[in-house]
Amino acid sequence: MSDLFQASLSELMRQLDRRACSAEEVVSDLLARMESSRDRLNAYVSIDAENALQQARAVDTARAAGKQGALLGLPIAVKDVLNVKDQPCHCASRILEGYRAPYDATAIARLREAGAVFVGRTNMDEFAMGSTNENSAFGPVRNPWNADYVPGGSSGGSAAAVAGGAAIAALGTDTGGSIRQPASFCGCVGLKPSYGRVSRYGLTAFASSLDQIGPMTRTVEDACLLLGVMAGRDPMDATSMDADVPDYAATLTGDLKGMRLGLPKDYFSDGMDSEVEQAVRIAVDRCAGLGAEIVEVALPHTEYAIATYYIIATAEASANLARFDGVRYGAREQGADPLDMYGKTRAARFGPEVKRRILLGTYVLSSGYYDAYYLRAQKVRTLIRRDFESVFKQCDALLTPVAPTTAYRLGEKTNDPIRMYLGDIYTVTANLAGICGLSVPCGFSEAGLPIGLQVLGPAFGEDAILRVGHAYEQATDWHQRRPAL
């Protein structure tokens, strides 16, 4: 088979099982593509060619000896925010220069155990704060469909790599949309699991009550595969749930018979591009054609979601990022005394967006403002969660846009952070409520940029949204389109 780098994980697995190709061939074909697209995409902050080839050769030997594994020999790219033993983990920040991970994150350890080969670390917004990948110490990532446009963020490197042929599949993280929005902007599949579904041990925390790790892939089937390997209770993360992990692939029926899908009227609001609205509405009709009953529902607290998210996320970030002070992790600037050293290190090495968030977060937590901002945001968060609890009594999953627009031009929003934040309106709610969400390709704009359909499901209802995403995907060919690079 030529163009191994364009295949899905499941296709490659079948090839490997039939011995139509070796893991070494798969990995070296991909590495060549990662190199040749490097200048165009800037999707990777580092490529680990030597190690990856070594792992692939070891897999080929193990396969010949009869070893099996759900991912045996399949290459995975990892967002630069997850610890992979002995590799750098910069979180695309200059403050973590020189840091090497002393251990594997649990999600990584589980993928490794299943036979995955780690090929490199993907670019991102610094500490996962952003929606365009322009906040990276390693420079912006470019959208594979048009180099003048952003790939979305913060997992922009992962999305651009998967869509642009420079990764078969990648891990992303999603605190307020960072898996689903770049998946939508680049035209790949992105799954944010429910809060507690995947262990965050070894993930550099941004906002601990919102963060989740999830797969970014070319097909829904591949998302099932990776989620199945990573999901489940981990004693190292007290927030990981001891809930059954279904055989996700077995839930993909290819139809939507008997399902009720909700259309939240609050998610079709002013400010949405008409092209996005049209593509999503056509996708909804498609789902109806596949047997689903479509019902209109209300999520009345949606209008408070952005404010609530940007209070809670920044508050938690200000606490989580306090540990980066030049003492234990990464880089250090010289100072006259320890306090001076902390200040100089943080001033010199955090980027402007990270500083803005730390300042905002410190402000909303400070005495005198805590009740007015942080405490109130927590109360509104409860109302948003209740909105979802009540709609999921009426339907199995929701269909919505992922973002109000397609990808922005590079530089278009960098001087206006508030306008940038507003683009997160349809994604932050899932993190605030702890529910799961999936982005699948559902069309292109006139300008040739991808559009995503979001499928939201109840907490621990990944099987339902994967079934919806898969049935829709099988009925369309959006996921098979590849940019000409």
Closest approach of ligand GLN to the CB of residue 316, in Å = 11
Give the closest residue to 463 by CA, choosing from 77, 168, 197, 176: 197
Report which DSSP code applies to 375: I
C-alpha separations of 297 from 35, 328, 394 in Å: 47, 49, 8
Give the closest residue to 82 by CA, choosing from 156, 166, 173: 173
Residue corresponding to tokens 């099982």: 17
Residue of 222, 266, 424, 463 interacting with ligand GLN (CB under 6 A): 424
Q: 22, 93, 131, 154: which one is catalytic?
A: 154
Of 259 and 313, CB closest to ligand GLN: 313
User: Is 85 among the residues known to form the active site?
Assistant: no
Closest approach of ligand GLN to the CB of residue 175, in Å = 4
The residue number whose beta carbon is nearest to ligand GLN equals 178
178 makes contact with ligand GLN (CB under 6 A): yes
3-class secondary-structure state, position 49? helix
User: Is 8 among the residues known to form the active site?
Assistant: no
Q: 8, 22, 37, 79: which one is catalytic?
A: 79
Q: Where in 301-330 is the site for ligand GLN (CB under 6 A)? A: 313
Closest approach of ligand GLN to the CB of residue 449, in Å = 18
Closest approach of ligand GLN to the CB of residue 213, in Å = 11
First to last CA, the chain: 20
Closest approach of ligand GLN to the CB of residue 386, in Å = 23
- Binding-residue pattern over the window 368 to 407 for ligand GLN, x denoting contact by CB under 6 A: ----------------------------------------
Phi then psi dihedrals of residue 10, to 5 deg: -65, -40
C-alpha separations of 406 from 29, 132, 467 in Å: 31, 11, 25
3-class secondary-structure state, position 452? strand
Of 72 and 161, CB closest to ligand GLN: 161
Q: 155, 178, 184, 199: which one is catalytic?
A: 178
174 makes contact with ligand GLN (CB under 6 A): yes
Q: Which residue type sits at 383?
A: L
Compute the distance between CA of residue 297 and CA of residue 319 in angstroms, rounded to an integer. 37
User: Is 367 among the residues known to form the active site?
Assistant: no
130 makes contact with ligand GLN (CB under 6 A): yes
129 makes contact with ligand GLN (CB under 6 A): yes
Number of residues that bind ligand GLN (CB under 6 A): 13
126 makes contact with ligand GLN (CB under 6 A): no
187: left (phi over 0), alpha (psi -120 to 50) or beta: left
Residue of 71, 72, 128, 150 interacting with ligand GLN (CB under 6 A): 128
Closest approach of ligand GLN to the CB of residue 317, in Å = 9
Q: Where in 199-218 is the site for ligand GLN (CB under 6 A)? A: 206
Structure token digits, residue 341: 């050293």
The DSSP element (H or E) to which 172 belongs, if any, is strand 170-174
3-state secondary structure 454-479: EEEECCCCHHHHHHHHHHHHHHCCHH
Closest approach of ligand GLN to the CB of residue 124, in Å = 8
Report which DSSP code applies to 105: -
Cite the active site residues.
79, 154, 178
Contacts with ligand GLN by CB under 6 A lie at 128-131, 154, 174-178, 206, 313, 424
